[in-house]
Chain A
C-alpha cells in the first residue's frame, strides 16, 4: 500500500517536476519582499529552507556582509532559478537564515527584470555571475549592505551557459563554457565582447559541460573542460595562436562527461559522467599519455550516472595529497543521494547523504564556513535548500562502512568445518591494516554441563600463523611488519612460537608459487599495481615453516583480507569416521538375516571406525532386539560378555570399558533392576579419585585403541606428514577418568600443522564428558525418568525405549548417520518408535549430506532401502527420483518438451516434430544414447552401430545425404 503511494508520488513528481507538497512551504512572498521576510524551517540543528520558485543553481558568496549595521558572517548562499536569484545571508554558525535578499528586486526600478532561468552561478568576492539558459551572462555586484546592482550583461554565447569560473589571480577575468561548444574568456572591466574564444573542435561543436581554470599550473593559464563526447580538454590561454584545438585532449569517459573539478592543491582533476565513473586524473604536463590511452590515476565506480562532482573545501590533514580531500558526487536521475568518497577507500563511500524528504538532488556544493567543518549544501529538485554537517550525527547521513559486515563465516558441509573472515576496518590514516599477524586460538570456555567447571586451562593453541609481509624482490621495501604482537591475554598453556621477526628479503620460494596478477583490463587498473599472490598461499618453505609469506604491494594500502578455514575437532566432524560408517552400515536387512544380526554387524562397523560408544549402543540394541525375538529375558550380563567376546578385546577390560559407556544408559534408566548396571552407574558417580584406582591395566588398552584411531585419522585426513604427539599416559588417563571437561577440540585445523606437535585428544573424550555430566545430574533425571517409567508398561531395556533414548541423544548430537540408519532398519518393523516425520527428516537429511559429500552410491542405496511407506513421499518431496526421467529439449529451439512421457515428441514452441532416428525412424527417447553425425543426422547408438559396423556401410543412412565416414 505504502509502496504504491510512493510510486504514485514518484510518478507525479516525474511528470510535474516539482510539487510543493511540503506543508512547511511558507506562503508565497510578496513580490517586493523586503529584507525581513525570512522563510526558514529549522529542523533540528539543520538548516532547511524552502524556495518558492523553481531553482537550479547554487553557489556560495564568501563576502562579509553587514546588513542593518550588524555584522553577519561572510559565507552566504546564492540560489538561482527561473526568474529567481536570492541571497541567503546565514548566521555565522550557518544554522539560520538571517536575511533573505532577492537580488533581482531593484528598489530603484519599478520594472521587475525578466530573467530567463539561471543555469549556473559563480561568485567571486562581491561579484555574482549568473549563466542563463539563453546564453547570456549577467554580472551582479553586491554592496556590503546587501544591495545588488546589475553591472553587465555578456551576450555572445548562442546556447545555455553550463559552467563559469573566475580566474582567481586575475579577478576580472571570467571564463564561461556553453552548450554551443565554446569557452569564452571575458574581461569584466572592458566591454561585453569576449577576449578569447576557445573551441575544442572546429568541425562541429562539442557541448561543454564544465570548465574550470587551473590555478596550479604555475607558468601557464590552463583551462580544463569536459565535453559531451566524454573528452577532457586542456587549453593554454597564452598560446592562443590556434584557439580551435586544445592543448591536450584525453578521452576518459565512455559517455558524456558531465562534471569536472580541480583538486584544491595540485594538478589533479576529478571528472565524472554518465558512465557512472569518477576519474581522478593528473593533467600536468608531465603526463604524456594522450587520447584514449590515458588512464586515470584513480577511478571510482558509483551506482548511478553522475551529474556533479566536487572536491571538499577543507582538507583532513592526510599526508597524501589525493587523500586530503573528499570527493562528493550527485546523480543524474531521480537519485536522492549525494555520495562522499575518499580516495584512500575508494570502494566504500565515506558518507551517503540522503536529501531532504528523499527528493532528487539538483545541485550541491561543499560550503566554506568559519569553523572549517565539512559541510554540504544541497538543493533538491523540490526546491529545498539544506545544509548538512557531515561530522554531526544526522539521520540523513549514513556511513556505509558502519553498515557493512566486517566478519563473515560459512559452514562447510562437514559437520564442523567452517571458514571465516575477520577484518579490521579503520578509518585512520592507514586504513586497513596490514593484517600482518593472525592467530587462531580456540579456547574452551565452558563445560557443556555448565557445572563443576574445572579450571584446567586446556587451551589449545591450534595454530598460530603469521602472515609476514615480504618485500617484493623488484621493489625495495624498507621494512616489513613486525610479527611480534601477541594477544595480551595469552593463556598460560599457549605455545607461543617465537617469530622470526623479519623475514629476509630473499624469498625465492614465494615467487615460485605466486600466481600472476590477473589483468582485468585497463579500465580497472589503478595505482594498486599489487602483486599479491591470489588464491592459495604459497607452500610454507621448509626453512621457515611457520611463516607464510605474502607478497605485498608497496602501493597498496589495504593488504588483502584472507579466509581462515577452521576445522573443529569434535567427534562428529571426523570425515573418516563418517565415510566408514556411511559405507559400512547395513541399511537393509538382507535375506536370511535377522534384525539382531544386522545390528551386530553395524556395531562391528562402528567399532572398526573407532566410535566405541556408538558400537556399544548398536550392541545394546542388538541384545534388546534379540530379546524381542526370543521373548525370553536373559540376563543382560551374559549377553554383554558373550557379545564382547567377539571383539578382540579381552573380556575383563572390555567389560569395564563398555560398562563405562553403559553408564550413560544406566543413568537414564536408573530404575533398572539390573544389579550389574546399577553397580556400574554407581561407579560412575564415584569420585574421580576412586576411579583412578581402577586397575591400571585398563589404560594401556585404551591407548592402543587411541593410537590406532588417531593414526588412521591423521593419515587419512592430512596428506601432509604429521607428527602426532600423544599426551602422556598419566595426563591422558587422568583426563579420561576424571572426565575433565577439557575442550574436545582436536586441533585438526590448522594451517601450520606439519611441524607443530599437536596434542590430539581422544574423540570420545567429548562424549565421556557428556556422560559424566549426565551422571552428575542424575538425581533430577532419575526422578523425571522414574515418573515416565511408571506410566509405561514396557521394561526399561525394551527395544523401543532403548531406541528412543539412543536416537534422541544422537539427534541432539547431530549424529545423522545413526539416526537415519536406525530409522531405515526399524521404522517398518516397529512402527511407533520413530515418528514418520522424524524418519523422513533423518533419512532426507542423511541423503542430502551424502550427496554433499559426493557419496552418490550410498545416497542411492539409502533411497532404495528406505521404508516403503515413506519412499514415495521421500521421492516426491525431495525430488530424489528413483528412476531416471530425463527431460528433453527441442532440438530446434531448445525449449523444454512437455509431453515426452506420453510419447509425444512435438515442440509446442516451434511447432515441429523432433527428428527421429535416421535408421529406425523412432524417436530417440529414454536413456538411448543419441549419436549425431557430422552431417547433422542423428540416430540411436545401436542403430548406427548396426548400420556402420555390422552393415559395414560408410555412408550416412539418410537417403540423399552424401556424407561418408572416412
Chain B
C-alpha cells in the first residue's frame, strides 16, 4: 500500500472505505468528491471518478450498505446546506465525471451548514441521519426500494434546547449510530458543540416489535409518531470544549457499549454505557487521554472495537488499546511530517 495523491485542490475533510474495503471516497473543500478503486494486482488506488458535488466545503461522506442497491451509493454533506445522495453508474467511463449521478438532495429544510451525515447500520434499513449547525437532527428514510431518489424526512429532533449561543466562535456536530445489531433498541448518539446526547427508541415500544411483526409494517409507523419515537437516554459528561468527533464501538459481545469522543480540549475520552433494565443508559468515563496535547479531530474504532485511533492537531495518529487491567494505553503513534515547514517553491501565477 502506497500513499497516493488524491488530486484534491484543497483540504480533505473525510475519507471512508466502502463495505468491502475496495473503494475509498474522499471529500474536500474544493467541492469535489473523489472515489478510488483498489487495483488488486498492483495494490494501488486508481481514480474511479471525481466530480463537483457541492457549492461549498464538503465535510463528510458515508457509504450505504451494499445490500440496498446493486450499484454503490454515497451520501455527502456540505456547508452549502445540503445533503446529497449519489449513485454509481457502472456504464459510464471511469474518470468521466458522469459516473456518479445525484439521486436526491436532502436537508433543504435546513438553513444551516450540515456537519455530518451517516447511513444507519443496515439492519435498521436504508436511512441516514444528518445534523447541521441549526442543531436539528434529521432522519431521512428511503421510501421505495426501487426508486432510491425518493427520501422522506421521518424524524426531526432539536438537539439544542436553546438556539445557538451567539458567542460560540466555532461549532461542531457529529452523529454516530449504534452498530450493535442485537440490542433491543435502536440507538444513536448526536454530539452538538460541547454536549453529547444518546437517543434511542423507547424500549417498551420496541419490545412489541420484537414479538414478531414484519419489517414492512414497522416502516410505516415512524411517520405517525416521528416526534415521540426517540427519547433521550443519556448524555456524555465532562467535556470542556467542542466535541469534534464521536465513535461508537462495535459491541463484540460485550454487555456494555464503548463510546469514544475527541474533544477540542485535547482529550480523548472513552465512555462505557451500560444498559439498565429500564432501558436507560448508565454512562461512566473509562479513560481520559490527553497525549495529543492539542485539539483532537477524529476518533475511530476498528472493526472489532478493540483498537481506538485518534488523530489530533499535532499531526499524529495514536492507537489505543485496553490492557489487561482495562487501562487504555497508547499502543503506537503514527507520525507524518506532512506539516513540515518545507513547502517548496511558491510559484505565483502572474
Contact = CB atoms under 8 A, between A and B. Distances in A.
Nearest to A407: B311
Residue in B9, B41, B321 whose Cβ sees the most chain A Cβ within 10 Å:
B9
A2 B146 CA distance: 37
A341 to B, nearest CB: 11
Contact of B144 (A719, A873, A895): A895
Contact of B324 (A409, A430, A438, A774): A774
Contacts of A841: 180-182, 251-254
Contact of A2 (B1, B59, B163): B163
A838 B170 contact: no
Interface in A738-789: 743, 745, 749-752, 770, 773-774, 777
Contacts, number: 416
Given A408-B14, A534-B47, A537-B44, A437 B340 contact: yes
A879 B122 contact: yes
Interface stretch (B25-33, B195-203, B230-238, B280-288): B25-33
A355 to B, nearest CB: 11
Contact of B59 (A404, A416, A844): A404
Contacts of B182: 837, 840-841, 844, 873, 877
A316 interface: no
Nearest to A5: B163
Contacts of A126: none
Given A407-B312, A445-B330, A773 B324 contact: yes
A485 B304 contact: no
Residue in B52, B215, B335 whose Cβ sees the most chain A Cβ within 10 Å:
B335
B70 interface: no
B42 A442 contact: no
B277 interface: no
Contacts of B347: 477, 554-555
Nearest to B332: A442
Given A524-B52, A844-B182, A556 B1 contact: no
Nearest to A781: B324
Interface string B244-258: 110000111111000
Interface in A555-611: 555-568, 570, 572
A814 B7 contact: no
A63 interface: no
Contacts of B252: 811, 814, 816, 819, 841-842, 845
Given A303-B80, A518-B95, A448 B321 contact: yes
Nearest to B125: A879
B45 A536 contact: yes
Contacts of A450: 323, 325, 327, 329
Interface in A393-429: 393, 395-396, 398-400, 402-426, 429
Interface string B327-339: 1011111111111
A887 B68 CA distance: 12
Interface stretch (A156-164, A525-533, A624-632, A725-733): A525-533
A812 B326 CA distance: 10
Nearest to A516: B95
Interface string A428-460: 011011111111111111111110000000000
Interface in B64-110: 67, 79-81, 95, 97
B149 interface: no
Contact of A548 (B2, B79, B169): B2
A420 B31 CA distance: 19
A721 interface: no
A418 B251 contact: no
Contacts of B34: 534
A528 B172 CA distance: 31
Nearest to B182: A840
Nearest to A480: B344
Contacts of A557: 346, 348
Contacts of B167: 395
B3 A347 contact: no
Given A406-B11, A416-B307, A841-B180, A535 B335 contact: no
B56 A444 contact: no
A319 interface: yes
Interface string A888-931: 01000011101000000000000000000000000000000000
Contacts of B333: 441-443, 445
Main secondary structure of the interface of B (DSSP, over half): loop
B133 to A, nearest CB: 10
A319 B346 CA distance: 11
Nearest to B48: A535
A398 B169 contact: yes
Interface string A459-503: 000000101010000000111111101110000000000000000
A567 B3 CA distance: 12
B50 A896 contact: no
A409 B343 contact: no
Residue in A402, A422, A752 whose Cβ sees the most chain B Cβ within 10 Å:
A422
B11 A422 contact: no
A448 B345 contact: no
Contacts of A424: 315, 338-340
Contacts of B12: 408, 421, 423, 561, 563
A854 interface: yes
Given A719-B43, A879-B122, A532 B304 contact: no
Interface string A378-406: 00000000000000010110111011111
Contacts of B161: 2
Interface size class of B (residues with CB under 8 A): 35 or more
Interface string A838-876: 111110110001011110000000000000000001000
Interface in B102-142: 111, 122-123, 134, 136
Given A437-B340, A560-B5, A814-B306, A535 B324 contact: no
Nearest to A558: B9
B225 interface: no
A814 B254 CA distance: 11
A481 B6 contact: no
A839 B46 CA distance: 40
Contact of B5 (A303, A410, A562): A562
Given A487-B335, A814-B305, A841-B253, A436 B343 contact: yes
Contacts of B56: 301-303
Contact of A403 (B136, B172, B312, B322): B172
Contact of A751 (B3, B245, B327): B3
Interface in B272-321: 297-298, 300-307, 309, 311-313, 315, 317, 319, 321
Interface string A512-528: 00010011110010011
A276 interface: yes
Contact of A448 (B3, B43, B315, B331): B331
Contacts of B4: 535-537, 562-563
B185 to A, nearest CB: 13
Contact of B304 (A423, A442, A561, A814): A814
A502 B170 CA distance: 42
Contacts of B216: 898
A749 B334 CA distance: 11
Contact of A347 (B10, B147, B305, B346): B10
B20 A852 contact: yes
Contact of A852 (B9, B21, B36, B307): B21
B82 to A, nearest CB: 9
B129 to A, nearest CB: 17
Given A437-B340, A814-B305, A842-B253, A537 B3 contact: yes
B309 to A, nearest CB: 6
B292 to A, nearest CB: 10
Contact of B7 (A439, A532, A852): A532
A840 B41 CA distance: 36
14 contacts: A395-B169, A396-B166, A404-B11, A408-B12, A409-B298, A411-B300, A420-B317, A448-B331, A486-B337, A534-B34, A555-B347, A564-B3, A844-B181, A845-B304
Q: Lowest 5 A-B CB distances belong to which pairs?
A: A434-B344, A481-B344, A814-B304, A535-B47, A814-B306
